Amino acid sequence: MNSLQQIELMEVEEIQSQDIKFEITDINSLNWAFRKMSALKSKEKEIKQLAEVERDRIAEWERGELSTISSSLEFFENMISIYHAKQLVADPKAKTISTPYGKSKSRKTKEAPDKADEAAILQHVIENGMDDYIKNSLKWADFKKAVKIVEVAGHKVVVDENGQLVPGMTVKPESISYSVEV
């Protein structure tokens, strides 16, 4: 914004403070109104640019502050999970550990069939006439219930209801997940 535009803005403030009713009556008063609008638009642009710079600076500051907090939270959650895992070894029923400031909960998931290659599974189902499990794609939830996990030569594999190995399926190992509530 230049010095002429600053003068225009001061005139606008004077008119607004005096409650003078302004009316455009000729080309000169129209030109005067356009000058005032130009100065106001320039000031508006300046304010928006400054605000944007400040928003960017504040967002960068926020990211920096939160990244250290995030890494600290991850550290403590990991330490709590390690402690809870030790407690589970000592007492398998210690699924929840509670303090006045938070809880650590463990959740065990059983081993389950997992889709490694859906196309191969679908091909297996088609070849073996298991049409009940086919929509336009594999009815995964239903088929997963119909298969079994067995151990063959020291490896866990998935077999269908006919006892045949299902290609494209793997065994997702049993796991325990931990969640921390504060």
How far apart CA 2 and CA 129 sit, in angstroms, is 82
What is the pLDDT, as a whole number, of residue 121? Answer: 93
Sequence ranges of the domains in the chain:
3-72, 107-181
Q: What is the pTM of this model?
A: 0.48
Report the half-sphere exposure of 64 (CA within 13 A, side-chain side). Answer: 6
Beta-strand relationship, 102-109 and 112-115? unpaired
- DSSP type of residue 100: T
Could you tell me which of 112, 116, 92, 96 has the C-alpha nearest to residue 104? 96
In our burial notation (b when 16+ CB lie closer than 10 A, e otherwise), range 144-160 reads: beebeeeeeeeeebbbb
Distance of CA 47 to the CA centre of its chain: 33
Shortest CA distance to 5 belongs to which of 44, 39, 42, 55?
A: 39
User: If you search the block for the tokens 């091909």, which residue do you land on?
Assistant: 123
List of the chain residues with pLDDT < 50: none
Kindly tell me the burial class for residue 39, based on how many C-beta atoms sit within 10 Å of its own C-beta (0-12, 13-18, 19 or more).
Answer: buried
Look at the block and give the residue holding tokens 């330490």.
79
Strand ranges inside 110-174, DSSP E = 112-115, 148-152, 155-159, 169-172
Instruction: Kindly report, residue by residue over 37-64, the tens digit of the pLDDT.
Output: 899 999 999 999 999 999 999 999 999 9
Let me know: does 160 contact 149? Beta carbons within 8 Å. Answer: no
- Percent of the chain past pLDDT 90, that is, above it, reads 64
